[in-house]
Structure 1
Amino acid sequence: MRFNRRTTAVVGCAMLVATGLTTGTAGAADEAECPTPELTSVSAQLANPGRWAYQYHVTWCVVKGEITAVTPHITHADDGTTCDWVTSAEEKHVPLDDGTGAWEAFNMSEFSCKNGDGTDGTANPWAYINVWPNGSSKVMRKGIGDVVVD
């Protein structure tokens, strides 16, 4: 199953406003100090409209042409009835061994949701974002559970 990224993002954002979902943020408690202006990546957005929404981006610091720190930023929203935010379940940010100085950042979050039949279930939105010392960034891939979303 494939999703249209623009449609999902627009519908997800519209549903956040229209349905009054509970919102929150999750990020690194100890944000690294950066002696230069911090850079901000593009964001990955995923949603199940009316139930939950997830947005992930990173900020990073470049000193003398090298990335010295990457900090994750997650914004989440849930309806509080059929879905609740649980946690940022997995997080990593590591330098890539490709000679470009790029880093790869990953986040997978978790929502606890009731399935259509009333049983307990989960939704796990995730995204990989690469960042480069020159200030560029790209969402490499994203998805929900085992499903990759375009």
Structure 2
Amino acid sequence: MSLVHATGSTQTPGYRPALRFAPMREAPTTGSPPADLFKLMESRSAALRELASFAALRENWDGNGAACPIHESLQSAASFLELLSKARDWQPSLHADGRAVLELDEPSAYVEIVFGPKRQISVYVQRIGEPGRARLAEFNGRALPYLISTI
């Protein structure tokens, strides 16, 4: 699995779960990113700026054959971040198949949200002392899924 981060990870050694992602079912978007992604570059939120910077990456951005970023996925992740009311340190990253990923690493839990095609998100939660759980939800870009309120 290949994820890109602009900042270093603060993961406790051995705590981060080994995740398996389903293969992409749709071809990644090619061409120029939508203008609204570039508007995010001006955002005061470091997470939104970093997420928007992924839009400029091209195929093989990791040197290992990674797909170009899927703009629909990046936009969904940006919309998700803009809807959050809690000030948490979400870390954007990019999966090698082009999907946007948001990670939250807190002392009590690790959360990973992967933004797939057609408004589908995959949410993985691993709390200290509990088995990890993965769930699928729909994200319409206008309201956070109920599942997120349980994090």
* TM-score under structure 1 length normalisation: 0.31
Which structure has more relative contact order (CA 8 Å, sep 6+)? It is 1
Structure with the largest fraction of helix = 2
Structure with the largest fraction of strand = 1
